[in-house]
Structure 1
């Protein structure tokens, strides 16, 4: 690995600045889903076990460099203390962090107020980064989900402090390296969702790197239309069909097998329990819309899964939010989970809709790794350099 982990650092008696992502959902002043908080626990426990004192630095919402009381991290304190099993001292300002009270000095874990209250954070201002760095002896980045941002707390501080990846960041990077960097082959990628236009760079990168590319959701309709197929009233970017043709040609040149649905589920309306039927992909009635992959399409996808060793998944196969148009996604997800559980498939998935779909299919727990990183996961799949990761690599050089 080109970056250091907690195992490489002497933390005894050291102040450790830990960049975390605890940008959790909140309702009526209470955290409604503590998943992101729970995922940083191994890092904090390891730092404490090695004699370090964690100073948690995080963002919450988008205050755009101003103090917005509704975006205070104070709301996360109870959930943090519950997850960590330790008291957490809250520090409202940098001035207070620079001159800590006896209570803060005595606390096992310290949480700094929303780092994005400071304009220097998103500007990655070197002076602000240097000021931040003076609060600690070591920097640990455990927020892969913010690694695609070149901010003071993700990139800037690494120029002033010995730096390493936390356990969550380490797990994420190792999972992605196993999926795209140096994968066991054959590799299959599932890319779904509504629009080709939002995933152009992703598709362009993947056709160079994977053996099979399964295209689902509304995106598949655009690829079908690019082949001259009438998709009726389906969600389709007709202005992107030339681009779809180019991607198909590139895939043919690189030997990447593009998997499009042979049959589809169609209906006149998008609502739960809508009357629907299965038709060949090239036989969508003019007044209907494609809302899911058909049984033949799912059989083909699961056969590709069975013949592959590595799976990367981003996006559903159909309109999974409502029944019965979740059938295709559920069936494919369960097959991937089964193969992963049996040890014959390394499966890595990420993206908001993807995680929701896999949870709905009760398949997520058996995947090798589920990323909650959203934008950073997508940019990694697109082959982009992530500033937060590059900073760790530079620091380790």
Structure 2
């Protein structure tokens, strides 16, 4: 997928519209809103700094939370985000408390080369005069055209919203001559897109999480593309039930058992399932536990993969050249049921050191590698939750499709 990137653009003197993902948590300090975690802002800095260093005039915008009524707006303003961005950039950031109109237009026209402006939360457009109209979320064509009219070129660096067709991504792209990927977006296309479309083999996918229904399309897509697909987490007990094993009180989806049987039959040895489990008598860290091989006793539930499963999964990962991981192997939030997930994280560090490309596809697995402290030792940690899932499912993401081809 040869997409235009920010490096391909002539930026000097240009008004550069930039869709960023500044959907960050806020906290109240002495009656004022402040950014509680600036990871997403920091992640966008390389693209922003490039635009500024090339003499572009950066016009940034992002959504922040969900706006369902006028009452939601004051607590979800981009003003504290603009203040934090100014601190990180070490230069002033003009904040405009509007998403359209003369105040915004005048502020943009007054920008000089190398200056940066951020305007108000794009989701403010979802509520007008107290009525929920979703102009941003439903890609209102007039809004997309209006935002496009504010700049000369468009840089989309918000992979986290790439699976949504919103006015602030697809809407602008449809009304402007050039749309390019920022560095974050470019990296997601390179790693996630590369894994899905043209992986170096052997290609191993690890899929975890609670429900088969949440990940079924991913499993089916990856079974068609990967050499091995490892399944762990709560969804593994639906597969165990499909094999006729007793699963005690383990989480499972009765209406997905037949589907799991079909997947097992179709996939053969390509599908790798756990061979043991850490079973507990209650959903609590201080539960009575034992390692179940095969059937799980009545009154117990599987909350993590067991030691033999860890060794099996490690043997499958040995020699892999591409690994995609999405979803934990157990209830990793509880220390006693985190061992399987952490062992997988450690194994990914090892295969990365041996030359594999390792990709963590957002969500809980990202939290797990951060908890383990190995995030910077893997090839790529995706910044998108839902976007990562849909990319792995093989879906076309509107935000990426809208980026100009080279």
**TM-score, structure 2 as length reference:** 0.92
Q: Are the equivalent residues in 1 in contact too, given 2:319–2:351 (CA < 8 A)?
A: no
For 2:376 and 2:291, the matched residues in 1 are separated by 30
1:78-119 CA-partner distances (Å, limit 9, x unpaired): 221122222110011211111228875688110010111114
Which position in structure 2 is the counterpart of 1:92?
97
Which position in structure 1 is the counterpart of 2:318?
306
Which position in structure 2 is the counterpart of 1:45?
49
For 2:401 and 2:287, the matched residues in 1 are separated by 49
For 1:206 and 1:326, the matched residues in 2 are separated by 25
Question: Could you tell me how far 1:33 is from its partner in structure 2?
Answer: 1.0
For 1:97 and 1:250, the matched residues in 2 are separated by 57
Q: Are the equivalent residues in 2 in contact too, given 1:233–1:289 (CA < 8 A)?
A: yes
Q: Are the equivalent residues in 2 in contact too, given 1:177–1:183 (CA < 8 A)?
A: no
For 1:351 and 1:177, the matched residues in 2 are separated by 14
Number of residue pairs aligned between Structure 1 and Structure 2 = 390
Task: Specify which of 224, 229, 237 is matched with residue 245 of structure 2.
Answer: 229
Q: Are the equivalent residues in 1 in contact too, given 2:20–2:156 (CA < 8 A)?
A: yes
Q: Are the equivalent residues in 2 in contact too, given 1:207–1:250 (CA < 8 A)?
A: no
What aligned pairs does 1:165-204 form with structure 2 within 5 A after superposition?
165-204=181-220
Say whether 1:79 aligns with 2:89.
no
1:120-168 CA-partner distances (Å, limit 9, x unpaired): 2222122211111111001000001111111111101112221100011
Task: Specify which of 69, 82, 97 is matched with residue 74 of structure 2.
Answer: 69
Which position in structure 2 is the counterpart of 1:276?
289
For 1:107 and 1:44, the matched residues in 2 are separated by 10
Which position in structure 1 is the counterpart of 2:131?
none
Task: Specify which of 118, 123, 141 is matched with residue 125 of structure 2.
Answer: 118
Aligned-partner SS, 2:94: strand
Say whether 1:295 aligns with 2:295.
no
Which position in structure 2 is the counterpart of 1:55?
59
Which position in structure 2 is the counterpart of 1:10?
10
For 2:288 and 2:373, the matched residues in 1 are separated by 26
Aligned-partner SS, 2:230: strand
Cα pair distance change 1:332/1:101, threshold 3 Å: closer
Aligned-partner SS, 1:312: strand
Q: Are the equivalent residues in 1 in contact too, given 2:195–2:322 (CA < 8 A)?
A: yes
Aligned-partner SS, 1:273: coil
For 1:257 and 1:114, the matched residues in 2 are separated by 46
Say whether 1:214 aligns with 2:234.
no
Q: Which piece of structure 1 moves more, 183-192 or 343-352?
A: 343-352
Aligned-partner SS, 2:235: helix
Question: What are the ranges of 5 or more consecutive residues in structure 1 without an aligned counterpart?
Answer: none
Which position in structure 1 is the counterpart of 2:132?
none
Which position in structure 1 is the counterpart of 2:273?
260
For 1:396 and 1:307, the matched residues in 2 are separated by 35
Question: Could you tell me how far 1:246 is from its partner in structure 2?
Answer: 1.9
For 2:7 and 2:145, the matched residues in 1 are separated by 25
For 2:405 and 2:337, the matched residues in 1 are separated by 48
Which position in structure 2 is the counterpart of 1:335?
347
**TM-score, structure 1 as length reference:** 0.94
Which position in structure 2 is the counterpart of 1:347?
358
Q: Are the equivalent residues in 2 in contact too, given 1:338–1:366 (CA < 8 A)?
A: no
Aligned-partner SS, 2:402: helix
Task: Specify which of 17, 30, 35 is matched with residue 31 of structure 1.
Answer: 35
For 2:113 and 2:203, the matched residues in 1 are separated by 51
For 1:107 and 1:391, the matched residues in 2 are separated by 26
For 1:262 and 1:104, the matched residues in 2 are separated by 62
Which position in structure 1 is the counterpart of 2:20?
20
CA RMSD, Structure 1 to Structure 2 (Å): 1.7
Question: What are the ranges of 5 or more consecutive residues in structure 2 without an aligned counterpart?
Answer: 127-134
Question: Could you tell me how far 1:396 is from its partner in structure 2?
Answer: 2.8
